[in-house]
Amino acid sequence: MNDIIETIREKDPGEREFHQAVTEVLESVKPVLDRNPEYRRAAVLERIVEPERVIIFRVPWMDNEGQVHVNRGFRVEMNSAIGPYKGGLRFHPSVKLSIMKFLAFEQVFKNSLTTLGMGGAKGGSDFNPKGRSDHEIMRFCQSFMTELFRYIGPHTDIPAGDIGVGAREIGYLFGMYKKLKNEFTGVLTGKSLNWGGSLVRPEATGYGCVYFAAEMLATRNENLENKTCLVSGSGNVAQYTSEKIIHLGGRVVTLSDSSGYIYDEQGLDQDKLEYVKHLKNIKRGRIEQYAEKYPESLYFQADPLLDHNPLWNHKADCVFPCAFENEIQQKDAQNLISNGVRLVCEGANMPATLEAADIFMNSNILYGPSKAANAGGVAVSGLEMAQNSMRLNWPAEEVNNRLKIIMQSIHQTCLEAAEEYGEPGNYVAGANIAGFVKVVNAMLDQGLV
């Protein structure tokens, strides 16, 4: 196991996030390999850490002043053992190969946990959409798709949104794909409702995350009612995580963006949340404006020189990181535990560093890792694909019920896998083991490909 981690470090030095994601999974699956020597003989670990295909391409585009820009586009097709590649596209200046590989690797196990037949992939670009006009976004998306269309398709690879890629971007990407291929197929998910999108897809990751948290709390005869919750981020996942917490009687007291965070001791209600949705999704404003609109709340500017994030220093029962990878550092985890937090449920992908995750796992809190807790988004994307194939639209209630059942089933699967391998109550081990076993068994069935 250590040899494999050493090998990927030597082969791909500098891919810090990818090494982190691999280390976490490999540490969990050791007992599975000990019990199944055929996995070692078939070198499943060596195969699963190597992407099936990596596509890197140039994305030239012109801004409104006629200036030409060149960004880098990526698609990492990690594993297709249990279905066509599936995973989001991220547009953010921090995008690089290591981030794409870590996200694609996580996606393989997450998709496996959903019980739907989807392989794992991730893509995106180091393009920064912030401050760009709709026309600039459209030109960028069109240029991006002019290359990507060669590698994707409704039975091959079905991208979706992620950070910086919402309904607007999916629309522009889809439009160009349709023109190039001369076909109207479900090649992307997260589409708008009037041309093939699924009801509840925008809500799915956040709602699913809270359904997962509710399942975890139920194991201790608790629920979210009157619980004080810290939520980070203010994008898609943060908005709908907050909404479902509010529905279930919890009190959301924080939201953030990359510039800072707000603290509202009274808690958000649906009206305040609608203001945030409008501010972020329509006006594309900053969370600081929340504190101007609601003077009873406080705004704290981010300080990049700090070794911790003061957002995680507020006293709370439950914590939902919904912004970015590694947003919870070791010191943040220590602060949360000393402040008596009882549940951490990850809406963002890998929001805790390895050190922070260790602190959570070694305490007596409920800790739901991202690949299980935020799988609701891709699960409903899978349901969108099913509806597209049938040319049918299911009502919101049906999609929401299916989402709830999938999250309950993922929760149960994690608990059972953890129990079976001697780690009762360890959701990290359970998610990694259950996701891994299904994928490697399919790989063995399909031979050395």
Residues catalogued as catalytic: 122
Which residues, in sequence order, are CB contacts of 398 under 8 Å at separation 6+? none
**Least distance CB 189 / ligand NDP (angstroms):** 9
Which residue type is seen at 3?
D
Letter for the amino acid at 186? G
To the nearest whole angstrom, how small is the minimum distance from the Cβ of residue 347 to ligand NDP? 6
Closest to ligand NDP by CB, 41 vs 283, is 283
CB of 311: closest distance to ligand NDP in angstroms?
Answer: 9
Distance in angstroms (rounded) separating the CA atoms of residues 118 and 438? 12
Q: Which two tokens stand for residue 145?
A: 């798709």
In this complex, which beta carbon is closest to ligand NDP, that of residue 87 or of residue 250?
87
Distances (CA, A) of 330 to 117, 334, 335, 362: 36, 6, 9, 13
Nearer to ligand NDP, 94 or 156 (CB): 94
**Residue among 48, 78, 102 at smallest CA distance from 157:** 78
Give the nearer residue to ligand NDP in terms of CB position, either 259 or 266.
Answer: 259
To ligand NDP, the closest distance from the beta carbon of 206 in angstroms equals: 8
Rounded to whole angstroms, how far apart are CA atoms 378 and 205? 8
Residue 157, by phi and psi: left (phi above 0), alpha (psi -120 to 50) or beta? Answer: beta
Residue 76 pairs in a beta bridge with: 54, 122
Query: Are β-strands 119-125 and 157-160 bridged in parallel, bridged antiparallel, or unpaired?
Result: unpaired
Q: How far is the CB of 374 from ligand NDP (least distance, A)?
A: 4
Residues that bind ligand NDP (CB under 6 A): 161-164, 205, 233-238, 256-259, 322-324, 327, 347-349, 374, 377
DSSP state, residue 194: G
Q: Which is nearest to 296 in space by CA: 324, 326, 265?
A: 265
Report d(CA 174, CA 179) in Å as an integer. 9
Beta partners for residue 69, in sequence order: 61
- Chain-centroid distance of CA 217 in Å reads 21
Q: Is the four-CA dihedral 266, 255, 198, 193 of positive or negative sign?
A: positive
Q: How far is the CB of 245 from ligand NDP (least distance, A)?
A: 15
Residue (143 or 236) nearer to ligand NDP, CB: 236
Q: What share of the chain is helix, strand, coil (3-state, %, to 5)?
A: 50, 15, 35
Q: Which C-beta is closer to ligand NDP: that of 261 or that of 421?
A: 261
